[in-house]
A = this chain, B = another copy of it.
Amino acid sequence: MSRFDAVAAARGDRPFDLLIRNVRLVNVFTAEILPSDIGIVGNLIAAVAPANTLGPAENVIEGGGRYATPGFIDGHVHNESSMVTPAEWARVIVPKGTTTVCTDPHEIGNVLGLPGIRYMLQASEGLPLRYYVAGSSCVPAVPSVETAGATIQAAEMAELLSWDRVIAVAEAMDYMGLITQTGNITPIVEKGHEFGVAIQGHAPGVVGPHLQAYLAATGPRGSDHESMMPDEMLEKVRAGMLLFARVSVYMDTSPSLVGAMQQVNDSRLFGFCTDDVFPHDLLREGHLDFGLRRIISHGVDPVRAIQMATINVANYYGLHGHGAIGPGYLADVLLLDDLEAISVTDVIVDGRHVVAGGEWQVPLEQPIPPLLDNTVRLPKLDEADFWPTLDAPDGPMQVNAIDMSQFLTSLKQLELEVSDDRVRLPLPDDICIASVVPRHGQGTTPSLAFLSGYGLQRGAVASTVAHDSHNLVIIGKDPASMLAAARAIAEMQGGFVAVDGDETIAALPLPIAGLMSPDSMADVAAQLQAFAAAVTQLGLPPMIPLTLIILALPVYPMIRLSDKGMVDVATQQLIPIAAG
């Protein structure tokens, strides 16, 4: 038994399995750096003692004065955003120091429901990455205005929370539902209270009485990773929320967070997470190590920053034995050449020396559990489905359109020509058509809207990564190109395509739920880069298709297109195409 042997080694009656000798230990209990040895037996830390005093051991890692920190914990992340399987994700993020994640599988949950979440758990079994799951609470994100592939309500949440490795209720995005104690989210969060787990918050801009109401609803284990401004952060942490710094290339809240931290006298309620990181960013910039570099560069003491990415998050989730280096803790240890640069050289997970000098030391094979069905189940389509009908006499007509020229979209009124009850083609230069095609077998017809300011000059782009319901979103200049894009996507069983007429000029197949690839992250990143380059042929700037994948997200400001139609996010009402 591992604990029995660990105790024996600690008291000196048998050798350690592994000794990490002479490190500068980042002690997250006391916020000190102490020259130390670390003795490991099985998957446990058996003893921590002053440098060069422990031994003997079967195997020795010479620390040589390097820093030793606990393995990093990502407090809120979506595996699916990496577009690869859990094993491939682990292969990339573990060498960067992430040894524990709390992932919210709400992308695959929106496609497949509980079987999708079970798939992620199965696909992560036995990995050298502690893979915990937060039960997705908002599937679909806004039931009244969109259709996902599955629905998670209170009964499903109770089922999820009974599963091994499911440790929290995931981000409660429907904050108005909680504040008003209405909707699916209220009984779902009650299940979290029954199971006694942390309730991840999601409350962008929620302050004042609404914040108090939100926390009265989510209870004493709330958190937030959506705050942008120091004053909002300060109010939240004072109210007892664990505040996650969300740091990635895409979104870096660390300057604000540093501002908030400097105004309080205790940092235990500051945590760390990445949320969504795309494959090319993971490969190029890193994972939590990137965020730690950022927040340290903004003036946070490195030891405090390490606490944020380790013990503070472990305490929030009640992950006892995680997030610190001490006797009796799980043996997840990083060695770093430099504490400010967070340059991880070695990673020990569960007592195994899995990464040395940045290189994997153990095989990392994980069979991909078979998914039963093609998840791209489109209705029968023809060109007419992508040619907007306009109920007006021939001639000019005022229509509502989504203006894409700013990242936060807006409503814009346009004049278009009507001919035989349809918009006259070709469309004016700045205008194109967007469609959300139901891909979960709903059997409904595609929704349609006009876009301005998108830049597309010809052809079409399409994606089944379309947060959060992950229907098929297509933006095209003409119905024929859009139909071609839909057919290409169906053939690949999901992913991204760019088409020019009949020709597919770039494609990234994501056959796992239309969200993930079975291939390596390097391959996926290369295909994404090729996609970004190819779309310049269609008049678009070279881009990773971020605006495409959030066009259908009905909780993201200001105007979105769901499978049911145009959505005014502020009011959660559908907007007709005909203006006025």
A315 to B315, CA, bound (A): 8
Q: What per-residue 1/0 map shows which CB atoms of A250-291 lie under 8 Å from chain B? A: 000000000000001110110000000000000000000000
CB distance from A286 to the nearest CB of B (A): 27
A324 engages B240 (CB within 8 Å): yes
Q: Point out the residues of chain B lying under 8 angstroms from A29, CB to CB.
A: 237-240, 266, 268-269
Q: Point out the residues of chain B lying under 8 angstroms from A328, CB to CB.
A: 215-220, 222, 240
A238 engages B47 (CB within 8 Å): no
Closest-by-CB residue of B relative to A327 is B215
Contact residues of A: prevailing secondary structure: mixed
Q: Verify if A27 is at the interface (C-beta below 8 Å from B).
A: yes
List 4 additional contacts besides A11-B209, A265-B303; criterion CB under 8 Å: A10-B213, A29-B238, A213-B327, A215-B326
B31 engages A209 (CB within 8 Å): no
CB distance from A131 to the nearest CB of B (A): 19
Q: What per-residue 1/0 map shows which CB atoms of A24-48 lie under 8 Å from chain B? A: 0001011110100001000011111
Interface-lining segment among A176-184, A483-491, A527-535, A552-560: A176-184
Known contacts A32-B264, A266-B29, A328-B219, A181 near B212 by CB under 8 Å: no
Copy count, this protein chain:
2
Interface-lining segment among A1-9, A374-382, A447-455, A517-525: A1-9
CB distance from A317 to the nearest CB of B (A): 11
Q: Verify if A501 is at the interface (C-beta below 8 Å from B).
A: no
Query: Which of A27, A29, A321, A328 is most buried by chain B, counting CB atoms within 10 A of its CB?
Result: A328
A46 to B181, CA, bound (A): 14
- Count A interface residues, CB 8 Å: 63
A88 to B10, CA, bound (A): 45
A238 to B324, CA, bound (A): 11
A178 to B10, CA, bound (A): 12
Q: Verify if A221 is at the interface (C-beta below 8 Å from B).
A: yes
A274 to B315, CA, bound (A): 25
A220 to B326, CA, bound (A): 8
Q: Verify if A12 is at the interface (C-beta below 8 Å from B).
A: yes
- Which residue of the partner chain, among B11, B178, B264, contacts A210 with CB atoms under 8 Å? B11
Closest-by-CB residue of B relative to A44 is B216
A216 engages B47 (CB within 8 Å): yes
| 8 cross-chain pairs, A with B, having the tightest CB-CB distances, nearest first | A240-B326, A31-B265, A47-B212, A10-B213, A30-B264, A11-B213, A215-B327, A31-B266
Query: Which of A10, A315, A327 is most buried by chain B, counting CB atoms within 10 A of its CB?
Result: A327
- Which residue of the partner chain, among B3, B45, B213, B220, contacts A324 with CB atoms under 8 Å? B220
- Which residue of the partner chain, among B12, B49, B318, contacts A318 with CB atoms under 8 Å? B318
Show 6 A/B contacts (Cβ-Cβ < 8 Å), sorted by A: A3-B190, A7-B179, A46-B212, A215-B327, A220-B320, A265-B303
Known contacts A181-B8, A217-B7, A324-B240, A30 near B265 by CB under 8 Å: yes
- Which residue of the partner chain, among B7, B179, B193, B265, contacts A11 with CB atoms under 8 Å? B179
Closest-by-CB residue of B relative to A28 is B266
CB distance from A339 to the nearest CB of B (A): 15
Q: Verify if A395 is at the interface (C-beta below 8 Å from B).
A: no
Q: Verify if A196 is at the interface (C-beta below 8 Å from B).
A: yes
Q: Verify if A329 is at the interface (C-beta below 8 Å from B).
A: yes
A212 engages B179 (CB within 8 Å): no
B49 engages A212 (CB within 8 Å): yes
A196 engages B32 (CB within 8 Å): no
A212 to B29, CA, bound (A): 15
CB distance from A243 to the nearest CB of B (A): 10
CB distance from A228 to the nearest CB of B (A): 19
Q: Point out the residues of chain B lying under 8 angstroms from A48, CB to CB.
A: 212, 239
A222 to B324, CA, bound (A): 13
